[in-house]
Amino acid sequence: MNISEYIKDTYGTMYYVTDMQKAASYYKNLFNLSPEEESPGWTTFNLNGHRICLHATEGDHSVSHNGVLITNVSQLENVVAELKNRGVEFVKDITEVCEGGYSADFVDPSGNVLSLFEYKG
């Protein structure tokens, strides 16, 4: 299976934040943009097709100092199964993250998190 055939494009880069209001205000002022989406748990800013995504931390999830690349994929279940067969370590199995949207997160050898996302509408 050639995984690249299932990757449609990148959605954006996600940053975990401890204070959504403060973080959203910072990015509003930094880019002089209004949010594309805005809620207490998730806020996005569209930078000419690439999104800066702010995700409020939950529970014991620590704030990463690296961004998380989010890729839009088709057939998320098949992609995850293939990557697991190759020994890829997933830190979050397929989870519904919004109505009709599912993601799974894995780490590279250095511990950087990458996220696969599929919107099934």
Q: pLDDT tens digits for 83-106?
A: 999 999 999 999 999 999 999 999
Q: Strand, helix or coil at 1? A: coil
Range of the domain at 18: 3-119
116 burial level (CB within 10 Å; 0-12, 13-18, 19+): buried
Number of domains within the chain: 1
Query: What's residue 57's pLDDT?
Result: 84
Measured distance CA(18)–CA(55) in Å, rounded: 9
Query: What's residue 61's pLDDT?
Result: 60
Parallel, antiparallel, or unpaired: how do β-strands 101-107 and 113-119 relate?
antiparallel
Q: What is the CATH number of the domain that holds 32?
A: 3.10.180.10
Query: What's residue 16's pLDDT?
Result: 86
Measured distance CA(60)–CA(83) in Å, rounded: 26
Residue type, 94: I
Farthest CA pair distance, the chain: 44
Nearest to 16 by CA among 69, 61, 70, 55: 55
Helix locations, the chain, DSSP H = 20-31, 76-85
Query: What's residue 31's pLDDT?
Result: 86
